[in-house]
Amino acid sequence: MKTTTLLKSRKFAPVVLVIMDGIGYRKDPIGNAVLESYTPNLDWLLQNCPHTLLKAHGTAVGLPSDEDMGNSEVGHNTLGAGRFYPQGARLVNEALESGRIYSGKGWTELTRFCRENGGAMHFIGLFSDGNVHSNIHHLKLMLKRLAHEEKIAKARVHVLLDGRDVGETSALEYIEPFESFLKELNEREGVDYRIASGGGRMKVTMDRYEANWDMVALGWKTHVAAEERQFGSAREAIETHRQENPGVIDQDLPPFVVADEKGPVGPILDGDSVVFFNFRGDRAIEISRAFDEENFDKFDRKPYPRVAYAGMMEYDTEAHIPKTYLVEPPVIEKTIGEYLCAAGVRQMAISETQKFGHVTYFWNGNRSGYLDERLEKYVEIPSDRVPFEERPWMKAAEITDHVIGAIAEKNYDFIRLNFPNGDMVGHTGIYQAARIAVEAVDLCIGRIMKAVAKAEGVLIVTADHGNAEEMYEMDKKAGRPKINEQGNPKGKTAHTLNPVWFMVYDPSGDKPMEVNAAIAEPGLANVASTIFQLLGMEKPELYAEPLLLFHQ
C-alpha cells in the first residue's frame, strides 16, 4: 500500500481533524441549539475560511434511502473509508428480502437448537424503526418466518425502548401495533409469541465501550433472570412508570418483566436460543460478551443458562464478537488509517469513552486495536457517569488539553478527535443543555485554533451527523414545535437529516485554497481525500474526490 507526494508546496504538520459529533446545520432557528448558541469561533471560521456543507445521512453514508438519518457509526466508517459502504440496515434488508439470512449458519444453528431442546426463541433489541441500531420491521419478518416456516412454537421478545432515534415518548406507538401483530400471528399459526421484558435503552442492556457494566447486569436480571418488577403487560409497565416518574422519556424508563398468573412469561432458560437483533455494533458488544464468554468477570451471571446465542451481525470483526451471527458485516478495507500507516504517517486519535470507539474502531473499518502501534496513539478520556444534561460540557476541556499538548510536542502528522457533546447531550432532548454543549465545543475549538496556528498546521472542522440543531419535534405543516403535556415544546432526541459543516483553517494563509464547487453533492466520503491533500499525499484512486482546490 503506497502513497506518493502530490502537492509541490509545503505540506501541513500537523493536520488536525475535529469531529463535532451531532452538530449539524439547519437554517430555521426554532429549537436550533447550534444556531442560537454563542459560537464566536465557528462563526469566525465560516466568515473567513473555505467551507461547504456535507451530506451526512442516507445513501451518502451507505444507508438504504435518504429518509434514513445518519449516525455516528456509519459517519465514522465513511470518514475513515474515504467512500461509503452498504451499512447495517441495508445489509440486513437485503439478507431478509433475499431469504439469505434463513439459510445462513447462524439462523440454522439457533432454530435447530430450539427444536432439539424444545426451547423458546428469544429476541432482544432496540424496539423502534429508527434504523440506527435496529428496525422493528426486521424483527417482525423473523417472527413470521419462525412461526410459519420453522414451526417454532414459543418465542419471547425483550423490548429495549428507544425515545432517542425516534420520538422521546413514542414507545406505545410501537408496543400497541406489535401486540396486535403478535395476537394475529399466534391465532393464525397456533404459536405462543409474547413480549417478556423491557426497559429504556439508557437504563438496561445497551451500554457501550464498557462505560457502565451495571446497565448490562441489570439487563441480565431483567431478560434472563426475570427478577425485576412485574407487570401484566408492556403497556401497563410503561404507563405505570410514566405516572411514577413524571416527564421521564422512553430511553430512561426502568426495567420491567411481563408476568401472568403463573409468573414471568419469558425468562431465558436452558435449551433456549437468543437473537440480539440490533445491527449496529457499539451497544451490542457487551451483552454479546455476557452470553458468549465462558470466563466472564464483569458481573455475576445468575442464572447462566445453556443457550444458543447470535447477534444480528458480527459486532467486532477483530475480536469476533459474537461467535455466531445472522448477517455478514461490511468488510471495510483500505481505510485512510491503513494508507497513512503504510506511508509512515504518525497519528493520534482521541475522544472520551462515549465516542472513543468511533475515532478508533469505526474509523478503522470496524477493527479493534491499533493498525500500527509504532505510528499510532489512541487516547481515551473516561466519561463521567452522570446524566449528560447535568454536565453538558462533558470532557471537552480534557480532550482539548491533550490535543494541545500533542500539537506542541510535534510528534504527530495527523490528529483526529471527537467532541461527543452535540450528540450525547442532544439525545437528552433538553434544549438549554444542548446550547451549553455546543458552546463548550466552540470554546475548545478556539483553543485548538491557537495551538494549530502556533504549530503552523491546519485545522479541519466537521461533524458526523446532525442532532443538536433540531432539538424540538416540529409540526412541519404548521411550522412550529409540537407541544407536550406540560405545554412546552416537545423535545426531539433523534438524529436528523440535516447536512454538516466542513471548514478548513489555514492560519498561515500562504497556501491559498478554496472548496471545489465542481463536486455536485459533497459528503463525508470526501473528507479522507482532503486529509491526503493537506498531508501532501496522493489520494487512493478508489476514494471520493477531495474537497479543496489550491492556488499556487
44: exposed, middle or buried (Cβ count in 10 Å: 0-12, 13-18, 19+):
middle
Bridge partners, 523 (sequence order)? 55
Q: Cα(386)–Cα(89) distance, rounded to whole angstroms?
A: 31
Maximal CA-CA distance, the chain: 80
Q: What is the mean pLDDT of residues 509-524?
A: 89
Q: Cα(52)–Cα(139) distance, rounded to whole angstroms?
A: 39
Please report, for residues 228, 229, 273, 305, 387, the alpha-carbon distance to residue 254 in angstroms, rounded to integers and kept in the order given: 9, 9, 25, 24, 15
Q: What is the mean pLDDT of the chain?
A: 93
pLDDT tens per residue, range 321-349: 999 999 976 778 999 999 999 999 999 99
What pLDDT, on a 0 to 100 scale, did the predictor assign at position 508?
Answer: 84
**Which among 6, 11, 13 has a CA at the least distance from the CA of 456?**
13
Q: What is the mean pLDDT of residues 433-441?
A: 98
Range scoring the smallest mean pLDDT among 180-189, 277-286, 495-504: 277-286
Q: What is the mean pLDDT of residues 345-360?
A: 96
What pLDDT, on a 0 to 100 scale, did the predictor assign at position 6?
Answer: 38
Q: Tell me the Ramachandran region of residue 52: left when phi exceeds 0, alpha when psi lies from -120 to 50, beta otherwise.
A: beta
Bridge partners, 500 (sequence order)? 54
Among 9, 37, 65, 72, the one annotated catalytic? 72
Q: Residue with C-alpha cell 488536525? A: 16
Topology adopted by domain 33-86+332-550: Alkaline Phosphatase, subunit A (3.40.720)
What pLDDT, on a 0 to 100 scale, did the predictor assign at position 179?
Answer: 98
Q: How confident is the model at residue 318 (pLDDT cuts 50, 70, 90)?
A: low
H or E element that contains 171: helix 171-189
What pLDDT, on a 0 to 100 scale, did the predictor assign at position 388?
Answer: 95
Topology adopted by domain 89-327: 3.40.1450
Q: Is the model's pLDDT at 62 over the cut of 90?
A: no
Amino acid (one-letter) located at 470:
E
Q: Is the model's pLDDT at 552 over the cut of 70?
A: no
Torsion angles phi and psi, residue 403, rounded to 5: -65, -45
Residue limits of CATH 3.40.1450.10 in the chain: 89-327
What pLDDT, on a 0 to 100 scale, did the predictor assign at position 9?
Answer: 39
Give Cα 213 to chain centroid, integer Å: 18
Q: Residue with C-alpha cell 461547504? A: 52
Q: Residue with C-alpha cell 494549530? A: 452
- Active-site residue flag, 197: no
Three-state SS string over 237-271 comes to HHHHHHHHCCCCCHHHCCCEEEEECCEECCCCCCC
Residue limits of CATH 3.40.720.10 in the chain: 33-86+332-550
Please report, for residues 132, 178, 198, 252, 273, the alpha-carbon distance to residue 127 in angstroms, rounded to integers and kept in the order given: 11, 10, 9, 14, 19
pLDDT tens per residue, range 141-186: 999 999 999 999 999 999 999 998 999 999 999 999 999 999 999 9
pLDDT tens per residue, range 442-480: 999 999 999 999 999 999 999 999 999 999 988 877 888
The CA-CA-CA angle for residues 57, 311, 211, to 5°, reads 70
Q: How confident is the model at residue 208 (pLDDT cuts 50, 70, 90)?
A: confident
Amino acid (one-letter) located at 245:
N
What pLDDT, on a 0 to 100 scale, did the predictor assign at position 363?
Answer: 96
243: exposed, middle or buried (Cβ count in 10 Å: 0-12, 13-18, 19+):
exposed
What pLDDT, on a 0 to 100 scale, did the predictor assign at position 159?
Answer: 98
